[in-house]
Copies of this chain bind each other. A is one copy, B any other.
Amino acid sequence: MSDATRDIEALIELMARLPGLGPRSARRAVLHLIKKRGQVMAPLARAMAEVATSARECAACGNIGTADLCDICRDPKRATGEICVVEDVADLWAMERGQAFRGRYHVLGGTLSALDAVGPEELRIPRLIARTRDENVREVILALNATVDGQTTAHYIAEALEGTGVSVTSLAQGVPIGGELDYLDDGTIQAALRARKSVQ
């Protein structure tokens, strides 16, 4: 096997590790890239290298950005006194696509899980509590997935904020049982946000 074949094989193996691509679709994708190496592959490699170098987690909310604080945390217009709590950056992106929420976010990075031994410290929950004090927060909106672990996490946060004067609400109408936010259409997310209800 020559260097050429080795390079291409290595590329296929790296591509096959991406979620949603198996070995066969990785081969197809790499072949497609090689055929369009000028128009698609070179720009994609550059975009990837650029993001790999610059991307980092926001120190406040856990969103992805290129500075210490993400775009949303740096934007004074987003200091509305509302924080929307999501499990994952993909959920934050889904909320932003819905364009219904103008406050800030807090990305937990998962849910509490007895099974996987994930406790509050692993999930940026202490930082969320601190933010509600430091950022003058009136309302925490829980936009967690409608799974058992998501709802356990919601209850934990609601209890932790009890008596602090911060109102805790959750997305209500529209989130199907067992459903995941990132699968919902934008309209459903907007409706769920409008119909949010108190969990305290």
Residues of A within 8 A of B (CB): 1-5, 7-8, 10-11, 14-15, 17-21, 24-25, 27-34, 37-38, 40-55, 64-67, 70-71, 88-90, 93, 182-183
Q: Are A14 and B89 in contact (CB under 8 A)?
A: no
Top 3 nearest A-B pairs (CB, nearest first) are A4-B66, A45-B48, A45-B49
Q: A20: shortest Cβ distance to chain B, in Å?
A: 4
List of B residues within 8 angstroms of A1 by Cβ: 71
Q: Are A47 and B11 in contact (CB under 8 A)?
A: yes
Q: Are B37 and A41 in contact (CB under 8 A)?
A: no
Q: Are B44 and A48 in contact (CB under 8 A)?
A: yes
List of B residues within 8 angstroms of A30 by Cβ: 51
List of B residues within 8 angstroms of A93 by Cβ: 27, 31
Q: A134: shortest Cβ distance to chain B, in Å?
A: 23
List of B residues within 8 angstroms of A3 by Cβ: 66
Grouping DSSP codes into helix (H, G, I), strand (E, B) and loop, the A interface class, with mixed when no group exceeds half, is: helix
CA–CA, A74 to B134, complex, Å?
68
- 8 Å CB contact of A8 from B38, B45, B51: B51
Q: Are B20 and A33 in contact (CB under 8 A)?
A: no
List of B residues within 8 angstroms of A52 by Cβ: 33-34, 37-38, 41-42, 45
CA–CA, A29 to B22, complex, Å?
12
List of B residues within 8 angstroms of A47 by Cβ: 7, 10-11, 14
- 8 Å CB contact of A14 from B11, B44, B70: B44
Shortest Cβ distance from A36 into B: residue = B17
List of B residues within 8 angstroms of A49 by Cβ: 42, 45-46, 49
Q: Are A7 and B50 in contact (CB under 8 A)?
A: yes
